Chain A
Amino acid sequence: NAGVMQNPRHLVRRRGQEARLRCSPMKGHSHVYWYRQLPEEGLKFMVYLQKENIIDESGMPKERFSAEFPKEGPSILRIQQVVRGDSAAYFCASSSSAYEQYFGPGTRLTVT
């Protein structure tokens, strides 16, 4: 039973480019969460999705960031026109019951 999968594990983008981060939840999980971790800090909630619906996006920056969880395929976190401050580790988690969340290995985004 594979865990939460995220790809790519490392992503380097130049300022102004787009970053697409993918998350495949554990089998049977319909809740997906995205978190961001800046160096030496804890994780900060960004967005909570269920299939085809954004449930809570209160942690998402108002501009340039978007997320989706389509009926088929992985959840995508998209960052347009990346800036240096977007450099961070982005973690996805999934759950079946909205209680215990299982985390993926993360995508480390570096903006040069």
Chain B
Amino acid sequence: SQQGEEDPQALSIQEGENATMNCSYKTSINNLQWYRQNSGRGLVHLILIRSNEREKHSGRLRVTLDTSKKSSSLLITASRAADTASYFCATDARETSGSRLTFGEGTQLTVNP
């Protein structure tokens, strides 16, 4: 079964609005990470949240983690056109600790100027 599923698949908002993306996973994790990928480019690491953390902030980014629901959310506040990209969550599962990240299918965010 798919680990790390993002919701929604695509999101289109106006500049200045907030964008919220959700991620669900199925197994126990050590940590969960969010990445951004601009079209045709590599991945940029945004933020890592450990399993014993509930919330983390980095600039305009806010990540929450609910291990009881096996879900995480990424909030981008005051969005900009430059935030247009695909966003992926990735989990580092306890059973394969450090061996791999399991990525979801991503959320395509479009921020309209």
Contacts and interface: CB of A to CB of B under 8 A. Distances in A.
A31 B31 CA distance: 18
Given A33-B100, A45-B101, A100 B45 contact: yes
A101 B103 contact: no
Interface residues of A, number: 25
Contact of B103 (A42, A55, A106): A42
A59 to B, nearest CB: 7
A48 B97 CA distance: 12
B2 to A, nearest CB: 9
Q: How large is the interface on B (under 10, 10 to 19, 20 to 34, 35 or more residues)?
A: 20 to 34
Contacts of B31: 99
B7 interface: no
Interface in A38-93: 41-45, 48, 55-56, 59, 91, 93
Nearest to B4: A42
Nearest to B9: A40
A42 B45 contact: no
A12 interface: no
B77 to A, nearest CB: 23
Interface in B17-31: 30-31
A44 B3 CA distance: 11
Contacts of A102: 45
20 contacts: A31-B98, A41-B106, A42-B106, A43-B43, A45-B100, A48-B100, A56-B96, A59-B100, A91-B42, A93-B101, A99-B48, A99-B92, A100-B48, A101-B33, A103-B42, A103-B43, A103-B44, A105-B42, A106-B41, A108-B40
Given A43-B43, A98-B97, A101-B45, 6 more contacts: A35-B101, A42-B88, A42-B103, A48-B100, A103-B44, A106-B41
